[in-house]
A and B are shown apart, each in its own frame.
Chain A
C-alpha cells in the first residue's frame, strides 16, 4: 500500500457522490513514516505512507471522492488530475482491504 498503483480513471469517471468514511473497526496509529492501519480481520498492518496518510485523515469524516480530491489538491497544491488518479487508486485499495466503507450511495 506504500506505492498505490496508477489507475486510468480520471475525476470525471468516478462516483463523485458516493460518500466514504474510515471503517470505524480499524485500529491505527500515527508514526513518523505515515499511518499504520490494521483491518479487523487482518494480522498484518499496512502502512499508508506519508503523504498518502492525508487521505486517512480526510476520511475521518464522511466525504465524497470529489470532496477528497478537492481537499488534497488544496493541501498539496498539485494538479487536480494527478491527485484524482492517486486518490482513486488508493481508495480502491482501502475499500478492498476493508479499511474504508461507503456510507451513502449516489442519490
Chain B
C-alpha cells in the first residue's frame, strides 16, 4: 500500500468506511512517504488518532517518528490559536464582527478532539465594509505584513476573496471577505453569514464562527473547487459536518440554490463519498441554471486562474462594478505585479498562454 492510497483510509478513520488501514506495519521507507504526505494533507492528527487506537499498525520507531511530526503540528496549532485570540482582541473593540472558520473552528466544533484536525493558519471572515479597517487594525496592532498587495486599491473589499497577512514572518492570517475566488464567491449573499452564527470556546473565551449550515456549505465549496485535487482533509471536513445538517436538507438545498453553489455541493458530496469510501452521504436535489453551470466549469479548467475571473463578470451586477473588476484583473497595480515578480507584459502573456491551453 503506497502513500496516496493510504490517505483516504487515514482521512476516513472513525467513519463507516470500506477502506482499510494497515493491520501489519508497512516498511520504513513507505511509512516515511505516508507520513510526509499525511502532513501535506493535514492528516497527521487523524493518523496519530488511528495509531493511538491501534487501528493503524506501526513499529515503535514509526510511532516515534509520527509522534515528533504530530508534536510539530500541535505546537503550530497552539501558536495559531494564540494568534487567533490576539486577533479577536484587536477586532472586537473596533466593533468588527467576524467569523472564524476552516481549521481552527472545525477542530473545536466538529471533530472528536481538536488534535484530529491540524491547521497552519487562521481563516477569519469579516464584512467587505469592514475589510480595510480590519486589515489596518491587524497590521497596526500585530505588526502583520501583507506580502502580496491587492490587485488595485479597493479591490479586496469589493471583490476579493481574502488578504494574506503574515505575523512574525511565520504565522498566516487569511482575512476573508468571501469563501472562494470566482463566481461562487461573488454570488454568496455575504450578509447572511453575519445574520446568524455559532460560537465555540477557546481558552475560556467565546469566539464567533459560522452557523453549521453555512459552515457545511463552506466546506463543500472548499472541497469541490478550493484545491486541485482536493485535500483529503477537506473531504473529511465535509463528512464531519454532514450529520450536523441532516435534519435540514431542504434548507441546505434552498441556501445552495440562492448561493448558486448547488453543483459545488453535489460535487463535494460525491467526492467525499467516493474518496473516503463512505457507506452513505446525503443526496441533495439541485437543478442548476446555465450561469451556475458555466461558473462551475470555470473552476475546473486548467486555465482556472483566468476562466474564474472571466466567469466572475457574470456574477457581478452593474456596469461600474464590472468595469472596476475587469480593470483590476487586466491591469493590476504595479505593487501587485512587483510582489509576484511579474512585469505588465509577462502578466498579459501568462494569461494568454493559460487561456490558450484551455
Residues of A within 8 A of B (CB): 24-33, 36, 38, 40, 43, 45, 47
Counting CB contacts under 8 A, is B248 at the interface?
A: no
Distance, CA A27 to CA B116, complexed state (A): 16
Q: List B contacts of A27 (CB < 8 A).
A: 78, 81-82, 202-203
Counting CB contacts under 8 A, is B75 at the interface?
A: yes
Q: Tell me whether B203 and A31 are in contact (CB under 8 A).
A: no
Instruction: Report the contact-size class of chain B (Cβ under 8 Å from the partner).
Output: 20 to 34
Q: Which of A26, A30, A33 has the most CB of B within 10 A?
A: A30
Q: Tell me whether B52 and A26 are in contact (CB under 8 A).
A: no
- CB of A38, distance to nearest CB on chain B (Å): 4
Q: Tell me whether B115 and A24 are in contact (CB under 8 A).
A: no
Distance, CA A25 to CA B81, complexed state (A): 12
- CB of A31, distance to nearest CB on chain B (Å): 5
Q: Tell me whether A26 and B115 are in contact (CB under 8 A).
A: no
Q: Tell me whether B78 and A28 are in contact (CB under 8 A).
A: yes
Counting CB contacts under 8 A, is B113 at the interface?
A: yes
Q: Tell me whether B67 and A29 are in contact (CB under 8 A).
A: no
**B74: contacting residue among A24, A26, A36, A40, CB under 8 A:** A36
Write the chain A residue with the least CB distance to B77. A29
**B51: contacting residue among A24, A29, A32, CB under 8 A:** A32
Q: List A contacts of B66 (CB < 8 A).
A: 32
Q: List B contacts of A32 (CB < 8 A).
A: 48, 51-52, 63, 66-67, 70-71
Distance, CA A43 to CA B52, complexed state (A): 28
Q: Tell me whether B52 and A36 are in contact (CB under 8 A).
A: no
Q: List B contacts of A25 (CB < 8 A).
A: 203-204
Q: List B contacts of A30 (CB < 8 A).
A: 113, 115
Do A29 and B48 form a contact, CB below 8 Å, given A24-B204, A36-B71?
A: no
Residues of B within 8 A of A (CB): 48, 51-52, 63, 66-67, 70-71, 74-75, 77-79, 81-82, 113-115, 202-204
Q: Tell me whether B203 and A40 are in contact (CB under 8 A).
A: yes
Q: Tell me whether B204 and A29 are in contact (CB under 8 A).
A: no
Q: Tell me whether B203 and A45 are in contact (CB under 8 A).
A: no
Distance, CA A31 to CA B73, complexed state (A): 10
11 contacts between A and B (CB under 8 A): A27-B78, A27-B82, A29-B115, A31-B74, A32-B52, A36-B71, A36-B75, A36-B78, A38-B79, A43-B79, A47-B71
Q: Tell me whether A24 and B203 are in contact (CB under 8 A).
A: yes
- CB of B169, distance to nearest CB on chain A (Å): 15
Please list the 3 inter-chain residue pairs (A to B) with the smallest Cβ-Cβ separation, ordered nearest first.
Answer: A24-B204, A32-B67, A38-B78
- CB of B262, distance to nearest CB on chain A (Å): 37
- CB of B58, distance to nearest CB on chain A (Å): 10
Q: List B contacts of A36 (CB < 8 A).
A: 71, 74-75, 78
Q: Tell me whether B115 and A31 are in contact (CB under 8 A).
A: yes
Do A33 and B202 form a contact, CB below 8 Å, given A27-B82, A28-B78?
A: no
Q: Tell me whether A26 and B114 are in contact (CB under 8 A).
A: no
Q: List B contacts of A43 (CB < 8 A).
A: 79
Q: List A contacts of B70 (CB < 8 A).
A: 31-33
Q: Tell me whether B78 and A45 are in contact (CB under 8 A).
A: yes
Q: Which of A24, A25, A31 has the most CB of B within 10 A?
A: A31
Q: Tell me whether A29 and B203 are in contact (CB under 8 A).
A: no
Q: List B contacts of A33 (CB < 8 A).
A: 67, 70-71
- CB of A53, distance to nearest CB on chain B (Å): 12
Do A31 and B71 form a contact, CB below 8 Å, given A38-B82, A40-B203, A45-B78?
A: yes
Q: List B contacts of A28 (CB < 8 A).
A: 78
Distance, CA A38 to CA B202, complexed state (A): 12
Q: List A contacts of B71 (CB < 8 A).
A: 31-33, 36, 47
**B114: contacting residue among A29, A38, A40, CB under 8 A:** A29
Q: Tell me whether A29 and B82 are in contact (CB under 8 A).
A: no
Q: Tell me whether B74 and A29 are in contact (CB under 8 A).
A: yes
Q: List A contacts of B81 (CB < 8 A).
A: 27, 38
Q: Tell me whether B78 and A31 are in contact (CB under 8 A).
A: no
Distance, CA A96 to CA B2, complexed state (A): 47
- CB of A15, distance to nearest CB on chain B (Å): 25
Distance, CA A11 to CA B202, complexed state (A): 34
Distance, CA A20 to CA B48, complexed state (A): 31
Distance, CA A40 to CA B77, complexed state (A): 14
Distance, CA A33 to CA B74, complexed state (A): 11
Q: List A contacts of B202 (CB < 8 A).
A: 27
